[in-house]
Amino acid sequence: MTQIGGYVPASTRAGLLGVHSMDHVSIEVPDLEAARRFYHGFGLRVVESGGGLDIFTQVHAHRWLRFVEGPGKRLMHVSFGAYARDMPRFAAHLAALGIERLAPPPGMADDGIWLRDPDGTLLEIKVAEKSSPGEKTRAEFISAPANLRAMPTRDQMPVAVPRRLSHILLFASDIPRAIDFYCRVLGLRLSDEAGVVAFLHGVHGSDHHLVAFAQSGGPGLHHVSWDVASVQDIGVGAARMADLGFSRGWGFGRHVLGSNYFHYVRDPWGSYSEYSCDIDFISADHDWQAMSHTPENGFYLWGPVPPEDFAHNYEIG
């Protein structure tokens, strides 16, 4: 394990420029009804809109995912939130770096800044309220007192209710290049890396990672991660999804980088939604020391062996 230098904390430089949140992810899938069934079962609110589906949590008014129908599963774009005061600075920053600004996709608003990352993934920077947390999200670990039944019967099992989108993991063909681009262009900061995977956080305070990258032959979406309140919610969510026919996945376990408890459920197209609890948090005023780990030492602390195809990018075959 070695420390990586060069990533200065948010509050130590005047005029800091950086996106503050993951706003939403737009995904094309071949079957909107399958998407509805999966994400409704996962505990999320699914709303028809403009011929597609918008995904919300039950407890948050923010739209986190957008699904449209197409010939196959494909990551369409990733939208990041920024403060209004920073939008002119982002425009000047991109011009100074020689980053080409693009016209918005058909039907999208033209008030954001559109660009592509080195793998061709379409990105948006837009004015949005900060949806990433401003402090460590509380996790619940409650032990029942004596003389009380702690759990309901199986037929009374509650539904897990995700509270918010925590992060996404994208495939990248060149991890160091992705780190450089997202830090230099979007103002994110490296949290940790382990050779074939890297994790970046927001400089205005965020979970250990807003976006992560896994090595692949091309771009794509590996998983979206949803914060839940407890380990109990992780287990309840995994059990409910298995009852609905979505038993493939990975978990229950605990990660090393981010430290969150997890269970991944595989969706109908080979990517995953993760129930996540108690992830590390990095404050805006904290100098987080990015570390470099070996892949085998930076994946998970305990849990079952992951499926052989867990890191396979089905968007490129």
Look at residue 280 and tell me if it is in a domain. yes
Look at residue 2 and tell me if it is in a domain. no
In 3D space, the residue among 117, 93, 89 whose CA is nearest the CA of residue 173 turns out to be: 117
Look at residue 266 and tell me if it is in a domain. yes
Q: What is the CATH number of the domain that holds 64?
A: 3.10.180.10
Look at residue 167 and tell me if it is in a domain. yes
Asked if 313 contacts 73 with a C-beta cutoff of 8 angstroms, the reply is no
What is the spatial order of strands in the sheet that 113-116 belongs to? 45-49, 52-56, 65-69, 21-29, 74-82, 122-127, 113-116
Which domain covers residue 93, as residue numbers? 19-129+161-308
Look at residue 3 and tell me if it is in a domain. no
**pTM higher than 0.85:** yes
Look at residue 14 and tell me if it is in a domain. no
Look at residue 146 and tell me if it is in a domain. no
Longest distance between any two alpha carbons in the chain, whole Å: 67
Looking up tokens 């759990």 gives 151
Number of domains comprising the chain: 1
Look at residue 152 and tell me if it is in a domain. no
Count of C-beta atoms within a 10 Å radius of residue 97: 11
Looking up tokens 């011009």 gives 95
* Local confidence pLDDT in tens for the 317 residues of the chain: 443 333 333 333 347 899 999 999 999 999 999 999 999 999 999 999 999 999 999 988 999 999 999 999 999 999 999 999 999 999 999 999 999 999 999 888 888 999 999 999 999 999 999 999 999 999 998 888 898 888 888 888 888 899 999 999 999 999 999 999 999 999 999 999 999 999 999 999 999 999 999 999 999 999 999 999 999 999 999 999 999 999 999 999 999 999 999 999 999 999 999 999 999 999 999 989 999 999 888 899 999 999 999 999 999 97
